[in-house]
Structure 1
Amino acid sequence: MSTVNTASSVKAEYTQKVADDLSANQSEQDRVRSELTRLQDELVQLEDSGQVLAKMQSLLGTAAKPTAKSGKKSPKVPAARTPKSKTAAAKSPKATPSSKNAAERAPRGKAAGKKAAAAQSASQSTWIELISSYLAGQSEPKSSTEIAAGVAEAHPQRGVQVTVVRNTLEQGVARGVIERSKQGRSVYYQTAPAAAESAESGKTASE
């Protein structure tokens, strides 16, 4: 009889130990799965940031080349000539094309002034204004990576950062001017219908 009781006790002890080990194993599996999901999300964010930085580097590199080339080919100003005779003095009126060239350069100066004013206006705009303006011109939702690249291309003078763009998008979602949608593990943004209608009506009124 004592032998039977001992065997039952040993069996119950092993049964409890196996149950405890199984519970600990399942808990560890849950922990590892949670950590794996977090790492995968972090990897996706890093890949998005890497793509945006690569595009920005390409854009900045392309924009820097003309500046360096123009610096090498700076025009030389010819030395002024002193007239030696009355004939040379008589020919001096033919120098008026310089004033004509100055007149031709005036419209270019105005165009440059408009570009400078537009660049200054963009530099004074808030991030939500820049991003909303970019999304308003898109026909389909865009990811934060695409939006950051588009804003960087349109406004190279602004130091576009992925984290800033992502935070601004979330602020726009909270304010109801931007809509967020999710496809699988990817998140996309677009202008909210009410904000899009407001922008369109403002554009029609200005026209």
Structure 2
Amino acid sequence: MSENQISTTELTSQYIAQVTSDLERNGKEQERIATDIAALQEQLLALQHDHSVLVNMHQALGGTSPVAATTPAAASVPSQSSGRTKQTKAAKEVKAAKPKKAAATGVKKAEARKPETGKTAAKATTAQPSLVDLIRGHLEAQNEPRSAAEITTALTAAHPERTIKTTVVRTTLENLVARSSAHRNKQGSSVFYTAATEAAAKAEPAAAAG
């Protein structure tokens, strides 16, 4: 084999190794972004649910300045299907075409629903907490560090009606750590989390000893 052929073979091997490394890095980056999107979408859905409850309460109380049912954030939810988007657009067009008399009728209906304010308030109190609140509350209730998998299992058992994924929980935990609302402790290849209040309480005696 000539020197030129040897050089070409070595160069090709280097290119293959570089491309393989780039592919692995690209795949990991896609996975990280996907988990971030899932966590943000979970938080956005919780906010949309709270918004819907508040709008119903506002209408039941006969507010003089109705709150828009669709916020800019709600309109950008990636999980909305095209069919639902078309239905929302059609509903807006029908609403815009209604005469002023229909608007007055709507106000009267809202006034007629005033006696049900207590029921509406009761529904508001049963609104599901966000995943962030669930994770923070679980950490604060624990005496020992917990892994993302352990937290997922506990929350799934406590809230079977919700779909909670370990990847979303891990991303949410990392966001809490970034905001100093939680503490990360790595033991070997495993990562455990504790509430920030507990971590601070443990740090004070250590600092005094030092």
TM-score normalised by length of structure 1? 0.40
Larger RCO (alpha carbons 8 Å, 6+ apart): 2
Tell me which structure has the larger Cα radius of gyration: 1
TM-score normalised by length of structure 2? 0.40
